[in-house]
Structure 1
Amino acid sequence: MHTLFLLNPTAGKTDCTRTLPQQIEAAAARAGLAPEAYTIQVTTHAGHARELANAAARQARQAGETLRIYTAGGDGTFNEALTGAYGYENTAVGCLPFGSGNDFLRTFGTKEEFLDLDAQLAGGPVSIDLMDTSLGLSATICAAGLDAQVAYGIPKFRRIPLCGGEMAYALSIVEQLCGHIGRRVEYTIDGETFAVDCLMCAVCNGRTYGGGFCAAPEAQPDDGWLDVYIIRKVSRLTIAKLLGMYKSGKHFQHGQLVKEAQPYFIYRRAKQVTLRAVDGRGPIVATADGECVPTEQVAVQLRPLAGRILLPKPAFERFAAQRQAESANSISL
């Protein structure tokens, strides 16, 4: 078995390459890994993690070797490595959360657990579903509408002097709320086609996105289903109420929308989803695992258990125990 660490120096607020290599070396020694059993590489450009992961996975398969890849960065870096390793059963990908959002891990555990190098090296691989989207492969959430528009607008405000992350986010929200609210969108969900005047929507394999918005509080990333949430177009006065409910995950409990959310939300479970704007106002802004683009249409297809990921020991043990309990319950029924 070989372990590859991919470090993104531009992710988050600080350069992880300043201290993380020394921490990795110390953790590897504690775990009994010989120096030749692991490699540390630093990414230098967008897409580099995908290239490095793909080359390493291909080489490991040719050598008949198991490969573990840990990305030190954000959801984008993790997604790149996961995409590069896609299709290689010998390879699993984990994340060390040094980015700004780190939403992927929230489905499985805490940031502290994922930052613990000893726990990471003592953990193990599990299989999860993936989403094959028109924006690329995604492990977490593909979304479109107001939330994606806000994220898409943040970079231009960050170019303003002294305008940091939270300020840029706030200014992007103000810009969107001052503009045209809502789109007429046509959805096809497992063969059912309908059009809705909507604020935004999220097709979910994981639970959170956007730096902690709990869109799908009960999503299970290995159950063979996508959780689809559509928020109807509402007045500006109602948006704050809905976003507060949506951020905290209080819109959905015990397998259904709560009473207060039912007038504003549409919920479906699905295997395949497509959506496109039909209001004549041009492309809709969409996002998958943090990457935002304007697009004419978004298509999402579930790929059951197509991803191999690494979980730190506490998260791995919880995941295994939960699946064991579910299996026992299904047998008893």
Structure 2
Amino acid sequence: MKVGVILNPVAGGGRLKRHWLDIGVALKAAFGDFDLRETQAAGDGSTLAMDLAANGCGLVIAAGGDGTLSEVADGLIKGAAEGNRAALGILPCGTGADFARGVGLEGNFATTIRRMAASKGRAIDAGRVSYIDDHGALASRHFINIASLGVSGAVARAVNADERKGRVSAKALFYWRTVAEFIRYRFQTVRITVDNGEPIEASVGLVAAANGRFFGGGMMVAPDAELDDGQFDIVILRAAGKLGLVRDMRLLYGGRHRNHHAITILRGKRVTVEPLGNADLLVEADGESPGRIPATFEILPGAIMLRD
């Protein structure tokens, strides 16, 4: 089987790149020769994944953080639509690595590679989010873990612009950026429709369509989400006192917020969020913020074969 590897050379502050000699030896021992590509700019992961799949790679390994993984998954989904199917592998190293945390990939690189080589693969779901991009055009992208809107969009932009990224722990960086953005955040009113249900009008801080369980550097926002159940866990944070919500943020790290008075958790295959009044909320998908509402989130059952 041909294997391709897509490396983000700046992931984790360049940690993957610095250890690449040892990682490459471990990959070759597990898979034989492989085709290595490096990303240079945003969006490269998707293009490179499509190219590797089209050139006969049966496994494409995303070596980087959640953003790299999301782009590679996006490319593999697009490639599969053209008849070029390839499985997805993960070598996690990034600011959040939340998807990897959700599937239990928190060991060292050698252990992760051995586990990947032994895996028979499993079909998991992915998501597609449609939104308005920063130029005012309708756009869409795939995601593999969690897409959301509200304060999370502002946090994603702040974290990605933070010069300390890669030099401090992901948990600390996300926590302090979340607190800072939440304090300045303005609750806004939206209309939320899940599948064909009755629309919900609410002033919200967050709406998350979760395929995986973790986001934001270790927050277990959707503790009951499953990657292969064909639906999202939809987490809605309604407006409430900010000081109390900041205090209760600790509950997210252990997934202990299910019964919180400001939290509603639903399940569904399609979620639409429309602005009411002057609402203008940023969208986030797998740690990147590509645009704003209105937004639609759709589940794609079994869209990715994961070797984990």
TM-score for both structures, normalised by structure 1: 0.80
AA partner of residue 277 (structure 2):
D
Deviations 1:226-282 (A, max 9, x none): 111101101122112332222320123xxxxx3xx1x2111211010010221314x
2:245 paired residue number: 239
Q: SS at 2:278's partner residue?
A: coil
What amino acid is the match of 1:104?
Answer: F
Letter of the aligned partner of 2:126 in structure 1?
L
CA distance in 1, matches of 2:101, 2:175: 23
Query: Which protein has the larger Cα radius of gyration, Structure 1 or Structure 2?
Result: 1
Once residues 16 and 211 of structure 2 are traced to their aligned partners in structure 1, the CA distance between those partners, rounded to angstroms, is 28
Deviations 1:145-197 (A, max 9, x none): 1232222233455389x999777656644543443431111101112212001
Deviation at 1:123, TM superposition (A): 1.9
Unpaired runs of 5+ residues, structure 2, are 131-139
Q: Distance in 2 between matches of 1:168 and 1:110?
A: 21
- Residue pair 1:285, 1:295 contacting (<8 A) in 2 also: yes
**Residues 112, 293 of structure 1: alpha-carbon distance in 2 compared, 3 angstrom cutoff:** same
Match for residue 74 of structure 1 among 52, 65, 82: 65
- Distance in 1 of aligned mates of 2:242 and 2:38: 45
Task: Name 2:3's counterpart in structure 1.
Answer: 3
CA distance in 2, matches of 1:206, 1:214: 9
Out of 36, 48, 52, which is 2:48 matched to? 52
Match of 1:158 in 2: 163
CA–CA separation in structure 1 for the residues paired with 2:172 and 2:248: 22
Q: Distance in 2 between matches of 1:218 and 1:167?
A: 24
CA distance in 1, matches of 2:276, 2:37: 45
1:170–1:158 Cα change, 3 Å: farther
Distance 1:227 1:164 in 2: 27
Residues 164 and 269 of structure 1: CA distance in aligned 2, closer, same or farther (over 3 Å): closer
SS of equivalent to 1:112: coil
Q: CA–CA distance in 1 between the matches of 2:19 and 2:108?
A: 18
**Letter of the aligned partner of 1:182 in structure 2?**
F
> 5+ residue gaps in structure 1?
61-65, 253-257, 312-333
Map 1:204-283 → 2, pairs under 5 A: 204-252=210-258, 258=259, 261=260, 263-281=261-279, 283=280
- CA distance in 1: counterparts of 2:251 and 2:142, whole angstroms: 28
Within-5 A mapping of 1:80-95: 80-86=71-77, 87=80, 88=83, 90-95=85-90
What's the offset of the Cα at 1:11? 1.1
Q: CA deviation at 1:14?
A: 2.4
| C-alpha RMSD of matched pairs (Å) | 2.5
Q: Does 1:140 align with 2:135?
A: no
Q: TM-score, normalised by structure 2?
A: 0.86
Deviations 1:53-89 (A, max 9, x none): 10111121xxxxx611111100111111111111256
Measured in 2, the distance between the counterparts of 1:71 and 1:250 equals 31
Partners of 1:166 and 1:34 in 2: CA distance: 36
Percent identity over the alignment is 26
Is the 8 Å Cα contact of residues 158 and 165 (structure 1) preserved in structure 2?
A: no
Which deviates more from structure 2 when the two are superposed, residues 149-158 or residues 70-79?
149-158
SS in 1 for 2:265: strand
Whether contact under 8 Å (1:152, 1:285) holds in the other structure is no
User: Structure 2: which amino acid aligns with 1:249?
Assistant: G
Between the aligned partners of 2:17 and 2:159, the Cα distance in structure 1 is 26
Letter of the 1:102 counterpart: A
Q: Report the equivalent of 1:295.
A: 292
The equivalent of 1:181 in structure 2 is 186
Alpha-carbon separation, structure 2, partners of 1:79 and 1:157: 20
Cα distance, 1:18 vs structure 2: 3.0
In structure 2, what is the Cα distance between the partners aligned to 1:159 and 1:98? 16
| Structure 1 consecutive aligned stretches of length 4 or more whose deviation exceeds 4 Å | 162-171
- In the TM superposition, what whole-angstrom CA distance separates every residue of 1:93-124 from its partner, at most 9, and x where no partner exists? 11101111111122211310666222222223
Q: CA deviation at 1:206?
A: 0.7
- What do the CA deviations read for 1:117-138 (whole angstroms, capped 9, x no partner)? 2222222321011111114101
SS of residue paired to 1:280:
coil
